[in-house]
């Protein structure tokens, strides 16, 4: 592909990213599956350009507005701005890329040419930029992040804007960590144990794992180390009744299944629940590959579900990894940070409280409710935990160091009443977790 064709491909992908809610990596994979003519070098260059623009969006938009040309910060103008500012592409070279030739972007308008001329040689970060712009996060979250991190805000946010590693969870239903490592090595993929999860492997680079024997045979599942830790903190054991209340794609459900393994399969009862029938259907393929036979899938209603009422007070463990803003996953879904507004946060908080009430009703006396989010906002974490304890005094929070020592082993990082993970502090995605016990 020519440089101009690569630029056009980046514009098309960015348009798709900003038109919907599908993560960029999913869209990128689908885009290249339909374009087999794109070589590996083309794919790497285009993907890098797409992610660079996504990670620089706030700064690029600030520069576009600062020119005073009145241009909207759409995909074309952001690519032009990124090439001029971050890549230091001269205006004449930019015009050659935007030539209008076959597979290349249409020729630049007079205003776009003025944009390229105005921005060429500018620094990507400027002293006049507000902090949310300079560090690429929504301004309405600034107060929350400042209250949470204080002087460490810039370090934490900078880590969230870096690419994430590829973490795998070893599926102990089928392999040991050593066997999984050996199988990956046969495919020339190097992997090392993760620092915190005893079941995790961190892969060097970003290899294609789908075609490997380790993946096809179900030895490993792609799962961030932080997500693995949440599943371990549930403390699922053989013979228990365990509910993954917001199972989604099923990653934690499969981890719980491995923890409940007995002779001949899962010992006890394990339910993966979700309001989405499509997600429940897609989970079946993962269950089969992992050999996690015995997982019971349930599509439940968002309100007043019959199955929830019928099973009240029966579960030993309930995991509620609730829908949230996903601020902890910005390394993987770069566009997610711009997807929500303050009004969306209010709606999510109401949903989280409703889920907590329903999930909590399933827990039997002496059982545990595990509340988790992939958010870093206190409004979705500590404040929701406070709401739960105030409105449902039958639940008592357990000290995280004790729960960690019991379920994972060793000291909890960092020590505190709840678990908080972030790229800067633990090298994982951002997660929050609190474990509560229902009073007997």
CATH code that applies to domain 3-129 = 1.10.940
Contact call for residues 370 and 387 (beta carbons, < 8 A) = no
- d(CA 248, CA 131) in angstroms, rounded, equals 34
Mean pLDDT over all residues of the chain? 94
The CATH fold assigned to 166-222 is Alpha-Beta Plaits (3.30.70)
Q: What are the boundaries of each domain within the chain?
A: 3-129, 166-222, 225-438
pLDDT category of residue 414 using cuts at 50, 70 and 90? confident
Determine the length of the chain.
440
Whether residue 166 has a cis bond before it, omega within 30° of 0: no
Q: Round to whole Å and give the CA distance between 194 and 180.
A: 13
Residue from 273, 374, 418, 433 carrying the catalytic annotation: 374
State residue 104's pLDDT score. 94
- pLDDT digit string, tens, across residues 372-392: 999 999 999 999 999 999 999
**pTM, to two decimals:** 0.92
Multiple choice CATH, 225-438, 3.30.413.10, 3.40.50.150, 3.40.30.10, 3.90.1150.10: 3.40.50.150
Rounded Cα distance between 61 and 201, Å, is: 38
Tell me the pLDDT tens digit for each residue of 125-168: 999 999 999 999 999 999 999 999 999 999 999 999 999 999 99
433 as an active site residue: the answer is no
For 261-292, the pLDDT digits (tens) are 977 678 999 999 999 999 999 999 999 999 99
């Amino acid at each position: 592909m020519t440089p101009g064709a690569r630029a056009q491909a980046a514009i098309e992908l960015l348009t798709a990213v900003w038109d919907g809610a599908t993560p960029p990596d999913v869209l990128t994979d689908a885009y290249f599956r339909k374009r087999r003519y794109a070589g590996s070098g083309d794919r790497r260059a285009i993907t890098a350009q797409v992610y660079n623009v996504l990670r620089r969006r706030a700064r690029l938009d600030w520069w576009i507005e600062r020119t005073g040309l009145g241009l909207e910060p759409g995909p074309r103008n952001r690519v032009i701005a990124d090439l001029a500012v971050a890549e230091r592409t001269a205006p004449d070279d930019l015009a050659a890329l935007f030539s209008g030739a076959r597979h290349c972007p249409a020729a630049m308008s007079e205003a776009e040419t003025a944009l390229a001329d105005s921005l060429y040689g500018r620094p990507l970060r400027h002293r006049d930029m507000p902090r949310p712009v300079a560090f690429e996060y929504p301004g309405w979250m600034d107060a929350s992040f400042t209250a949470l991190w204080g002087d460490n805000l810039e370090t934490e946010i900078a880590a969230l804007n870096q690419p994430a590693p590829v973490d795998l969870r070893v599926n102990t239903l089928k392999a040991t960590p050593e066997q999984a490592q050996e199988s990956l090595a046969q495919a020339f993929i190097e992997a090392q144990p993760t620092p915190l999860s005893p079941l995790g492997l961190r892969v060097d680079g970003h290899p294609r794992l789908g075609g490997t024997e380790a993946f096809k045979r179900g030895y490993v599942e792609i799962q961030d180390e932080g997500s693995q830790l949440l599943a371990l903190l549930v403390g699922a054991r053989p013979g228990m009744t365990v509910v993954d209340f917001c199972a989604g794609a099923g990653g934690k459900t499969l981890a719980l299944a491995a923890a409940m393994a007995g002779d001949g399969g899962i010992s006890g009862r394990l339910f993966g629940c979700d309001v989405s029938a499509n997600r429940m259907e897609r989970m079946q393929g993962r269950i089969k590959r992992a050999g996690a036979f015995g997982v019971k899938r349930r599509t439940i209603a968002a309100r007043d579900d019959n199955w929830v009422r019928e099973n009240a007070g029966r579960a030993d463990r309930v995991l509620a990894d609730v829908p949230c803003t996903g601020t902890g996953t910005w390394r993987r879904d770069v566009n997610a940070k711009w997807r929500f507004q303050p009004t969306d946060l209010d709606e999510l908080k109401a949903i989280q409280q409703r889920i907590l009430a329903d999930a909590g009703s399933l827990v039997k006396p002496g059982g545990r409710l595990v509340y988790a989010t992939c958010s870093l906002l206190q409004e979705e974490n500590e404040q929701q935990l406070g709401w739960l304890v105030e409105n449902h005094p039958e639940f008592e929070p357990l000290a995280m160091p004790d729960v960690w020592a019991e379920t994972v082993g060793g000291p909890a990082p960092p020590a505190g009443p709840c678990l908080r993970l972030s790229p800067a502090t633990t090298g994982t995605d951002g997660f929050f977790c609190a474990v509560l016990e229902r009073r007997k």
